[in-house]
Structure 1
């Protein structure tokens, strides 16, 4: 039996899916030593998640892999909506104010492959055929047992362990955390990759949704050509668990679209699967030195395609907090804020996805009533924009939670509130010479998000209010904190961007993950000191 020591690693991540890999990359970028293990013998290549929405893309971009993923995906620009063979309208994408406004279609196994490559570049490789068989957490460490593919048993320890090992993962079970919820009855998802022969628009970047009684069919373009077909349908035979045949998938598509002569050529390798789901959220996401993320923490039917996205956002939320706590820059209460924020987000998704009638199969009467409203809704730009923003996850927030302090007063009517994602406005950065009072220079206009960094906090304020004395006081307040903070005076490009950024007299402290931690009047620097002091261990 081999024995590992906690001197070898700071965090053990269990599970090498998209969430575990995102977490490991975030931790490595912050300098922590990471071990990532997975019981699978090798990477899987099944038809799983396909879409990365805008906020998850922003998170991955902040970890340095956004452009890499973009090059291997396709960005849909429009989705046509049909009621069987009747055209209802078109939904366009890209309304969000973000460098990643459009969704990115990319196969989950490609995401994992690219993330593994980035993690390897950072010095950590996935250990396959390494199954966690037991786990105990103590006040200062986690002890766990690994069974390797060659039969070797290893006893190891690490200061922290994070379960990203799926809905049936052992970590949650050993931590004694209930997985609350229930199985979704009457719903199955049949999906596969194929190239259809049909009369529809075949331009790259165009998807389709077909609505019919008892089923809905989503058709999304794949980067290499062809489409991913998702069929959400009723479940007439719950005992049927085998993967669908090509003929079953073809018949489902032909019947839903009313194209009886449809021909379907499957891709190589053949990727078809059938899934049923439950709506479940862990009662808590932390037990001492053990934490949960991804499907180990929350899972629901893939309605809306947000499961992996929410998991990635959770990993992005957790990595910087875990690093700050491990380094002694913040108290363990910061980890509890991850649990609170992420669990709250998951519960909201479970609730909202039950009313996504664009994808959930409806009975005939409900189908007729819903499809009658779709043409009018899609004709409105306001509806298009609201729906696109809702899908993007950019409006998801952590308002009212422990690390979000909003002190701008009752009449704050513009700009972000504490807990919101900071808007990606276009700004110019004032030259450093201003800080010493030697001159004034306005730099090029850039997106605000390009000035943020996952390795630090960013204190954003208006350049016209950043007199040398104010800057000196702000920097002195930040210097007392154990967490790194960059003071960033900016000038919005125009009045519209200025309104999105908020009141000129406010300061905005942005967390490493791009959410606003504090909004307060610039004149009340004591609030900034108090906020940073509250993070301290």
Structure 2
């Protein structure tokens, strides 16, 4: 095995292959594979190890929400996943067996306007195939048992399939090794939080026989006192049925039987003659969860991502999605610092932004009225509220905005600077840049704004109407002083609705590689742009003052 050092030799000298690693990713779940793919898109040399014997075959998460779909699209794998998924276009709500209304999706401008249902192991397979095409294969049965840091690298102890121990050297280590992260434990980073009491999740992949319409892209939510059942069609697996219920027997840990799952669904949905058949996988699960966030997401050259950094009860189904968005957030920052295009402040912002995102999701999902457990009187109130609210387009729009993750922002991040007053629906620093249709010049074909962005560069947007040659040259001179790639892109909104979501024509908008707005400033205030870039990026000819910072 290349890079192996026999255990007990006391040697820390890595092999040539180990020296070629920029980032060691520990864990080949969806977050680790997303991160590795993003790092390769940034031209870093990546190694991925996992202690499992091979690819996961067990059903786990099964939905990708629109913002995570956009992130995967930016990494070149979004369309591949969409071809293997169902796009969820509608969701029918029932309370005590009575139809309350139908929720429809797809209101917001995006190349990925719908949630996609696809089993986690299929996501991992597709991501692994993409990564292999980029020259990186997962090293299975390779367990990280310890990590130590030096000034310019980290040394990770790996137990190889042969039983030999290797001291693997890499410039950076990112632990995506789950809730019981070995790396987090070895570093002594607390995993603060507590268990959700009186809540269990009983779920499985089944083929139902019921008097309901079975159609790809149409799901069901059944509400009852102290139990909510979600049923989503999943490619090749019938339905994923997900029951959030109370926990009268907390010591009961064995998987549910098909009969137990059937009874839960039948009672909550009000379908006494329901029959459930097993899928080919026959997967059934009973689980309980805690809400926990690591005290640090970065310690020197070691970072935590995914469930190693944060984990919570699967209410809302956002755990995998937030982990993927974290990987999308981290990779470009890590690459910029590694390539000496940015200072440490940029990488430190990953901890700040991802921690705030995790806390917000935990908070918001505690108030998810469709999935929280309610006693009979409050359940009746919820049923009445939903029956009245579902026909209202404003209610549906607000729910879709929350569930899509488009509204998740980094407004409180040190990377977000708003130098002008925001008017109406205009995006502001820290927001995801809206994916509205724009043109680059008069008479040109409209194009979605996100297609003008790039994960390998920053993008400075300004209005076509103000893009005189002298103005563009002035902006180019400022951007050219920095090593990071910055594109200057004049745009014009195609309609009033799109224009209202973008900054005004007298402003510039600096968009980060991950599609979030970093700076909104007056077009004529070049110093605001220069100060922002100087705070985070490395100039081409750093002087002594910058080096001191």
TM-score by length of 1: 0.96
Structure-1 residue corresponding to 2:531? 530
Note the C-alpha offset of 1:536.
2.8
Structure-1 residue corresponding to 2:86? 74
Structure-2 residue corresponding to 1:422? 433
Pairs within 5 Å for 1:205-224: 205-224=217-236
Q: For 1:68-99, what per-residue CA distance to the aligned partner results, in whole angstroms no more than 9, with x for missing partners?
A: 00000001111111113111111111122212
In the alignment, the residues of structure 2 paired with residue 320 and residue 255 of structure 1 have an alpha-carbon distance, to the nearest angstrom, of: 48
CA contact (8 A) 2:510 2:519 kept: yes
- Within the candidate set 265, 268, 271, 1:259 is matched to 271
SS at match of 2:444: strand
In the alignment, the residues of structure 1 paired with residue 422 and residue 329 of structure 2 have an alpha-carbon distance, to the nearest angstrom, of: 30
Q: Which runs of 5+ in 1 are unaligned?
A: 431-440
Structure 1 position 181 matched with structure 2 position 193: yes
Structure-1 residue corresponding to 2:359? 347
SS at match of 1:127: coil
Note the C-alpha offset of 1:240.
1.4
Structure-2 residue corresponding to 1:465? 466
Structure-2 residue corresponding to 1:518? 519
Q: For 1:137-177, what per-residue CA distance to the aligned partner results, in whole angstroms no more than 9, with x for missing partners?
A: 23321111111222121111111000100000111112221
Note the C-alpha offset of 1:411.
5.4
SS at match of 2:440: strand
Note the C-alpha offset of 1:272.
1.2
In the alignment, the residues of structure 1 paired with residue 360 and residue 215 of structure 2 have an alpha-carbon distance, to the nearest angstrom, of: 35
Note the C-alpha offset of 1:7.
2.2
In the alignment, the residues of structure 2 paired with residue 290 and residue 140 of structure 1 have an alpha-carbon distance, to the nearest angstrom, of: 12
Q: For 1:474-527, what per-residue CA distance to the aligned partner results, in whole angstroms no more than 9, with x for missing partners?
A: 111111011100000112112221221121010000000000011001001121
In the alignment, the residues of structure 2 paired with residue 348 and residue 224 of structure 1 have an alpha-carbon distance, to the nearest angstrom, of: 34
Structure 1 position 247 matched with structure 2 position 248: no
Pairs within 5 Å for 1:93-492: 93-224=105-236, 226-408=238-420, 410=421, 412-430=423-441, 442-492=443-493
Give the aligned length. 526
Note the C-alpha offset of 1:16.
0.4
Note the C-alpha offset of 1:61.
0.2
Note the C-alpha offset of 1:131.
0.5
SS at match of 1:386: helix
Note the C-alpha offset of 1:204.
2.2
In the alignment, the residues of structure 2 paired with residue 96 and residue 274 of structure 1 have an alpha-carbon distance, to the nearest angstrom, of: 35
In the alignment, the residues of structure 2 paired with residue 96 and residue 275 of structure 1 have an alpha-carbon distance, to the nearest angstrom, of: 34
CA contact (8 A) 2:205 2:281 kept: no
Q: For 1:226-278, what per-residue CA distance to the aligned partner results, in whole angstroms no more than 9, with x for missing partners?
A: 21000001111111111212122112111222222211111102111111100
Structure 1 position 4 matched with structure 2 position 5: no
Higher mean C-alpha displacement, 39-48 vs 63-72: 39-48
Q: For 1:382-441, what per-residue CA distance to the aligned partner results, in whole angstroms no more than 9, with x for missing partners?
A: 000100111000011100311111101x354442100000011111113xxxxxxxxxx5
SS at match of 1:295: helix
SS at match of 2:285: strand
TM-score by length of 2: 0.94
Q: What is the root-mean-square deviation in Å for CA atoms of aligned residues?
A: 1.2
Note the C-alpha offset of 1:219.
0.5
Q: For 1:86-135, what per-residue CA distance to the aligned partner results, in whole angstroms no more than 9, with x for missing partners?
A: 11111111122212111111111111000000000000010100000111
In the alignment, the residues of structure 2 paired with residue 58 and residue 383 of structure 1 have an alpha-carbon distance, to the nearest angstrom, of: 24
In the alignment, the residues of structure 1 paired with residue 257 and residue 140 of structure 2 have an alpha-carbon distance, to the nearest angstrom, of: 30
Note the C-alpha offset of 1:225.
5.7
CA contact (8 A) 2:210 2:274 kept: yes
Q: Which runs of 5+ in 2 are unaligned?
A: 6-12, 539-549
CA contact (8 A) 1:136 1:174 kept: no
CA contact (8 A) 1:423 1:500 kept: yes
SS at match of 2:193: strand
Higher mean C-alpha displacement, 496-505 vs 298-307: 496-505
